[in-house]
Amino acid sequence: MKEALVIGASGGIGAAMAAELADRGARVTTLSRARDGLDITDPESVARHLGALTGPFDTLVIATGILAPEGMTPEKALSQITPAQMAQTVAVNTLGPALLLAEALRLLPRDAPSRVGVLSARVGSIGDNHIGGWHSYRASKAAVNQIVRGAAIEIGRKRREACVVALHPGTVETDFTADYPGHSKVTPAEAARNLCDVLAGLTPENTGRFYAYDGSEIPW
């Protein structure tokens, strides 16, 4: 990992990923809404910010996302779904990474290994959904998983040594999960170490798949 780009680097996991990659010897470039004004749901903002980068980056991490819009919580029942909540959740969790991945091809090396990790969540697995609920969040993560799968195919046509995957970090101690004390949580630093270990072990044969923080594959 020589040159890394972390998008969403002002968040708990994103900041920890940037720090971990730097500790592993990478020169890290970061982008975020809070620090740089990047709006991942705005095509012009994405084009402007990523267009200013030259790369190539052998590691690209997209660590963006919301659990629910500010002031809201994930729905426990279908009757709680509102168009506004679902639209904003999908905009951030699905459209945003899609716009970012559209810029990724230009930023990856042509003839050297590269790894692209997009933060998803196990609850986005349709096959692993046994309890329901969290409808907008689940749907947005299932959708971004499909985007990752398609991006892996498209990017792989011109960057044969690239590996593009969805990543589940586990439940991490951040503002994102503060209202859910019942979960077994890890620190952002621990999550970052785990995810960087997973990324480091990937090859082009792994592209287009969905991995947990322990390296195990998650069903779509």
pTM of the full predicted structure? 0.93
pLDDT digits (tens, 9 = 90+) for 127-180: 999 999 999 999 999 999 999 999 999 999 999 999 999 999 998 886 655 555
DSSP SS3 for 219: coil
pLDDT at 172: 81
Number of domains in the chain: 1
DSSP SS3 for 62: strand
CATH number of the domain encompassing residue 138:
3.40.50.720
Strand order in the sheet with 59-62: 27-31, 3-7, 59-62, 114-119, 162-168, 210-212
Q: What are phi and psi of 117, to 5 degrees?
A: -115, 125
DSSP SS3 for 92: helix
Residue 217, in any domain of the structure: no
Instruction: Give the CA radius of gyration of the chain.
Output: 16
Residue 114, in any domain of the structure: yes
Residue 219, in any domain of the structure: no
Tell me the residue range of the domain where 124 lies: 3-212
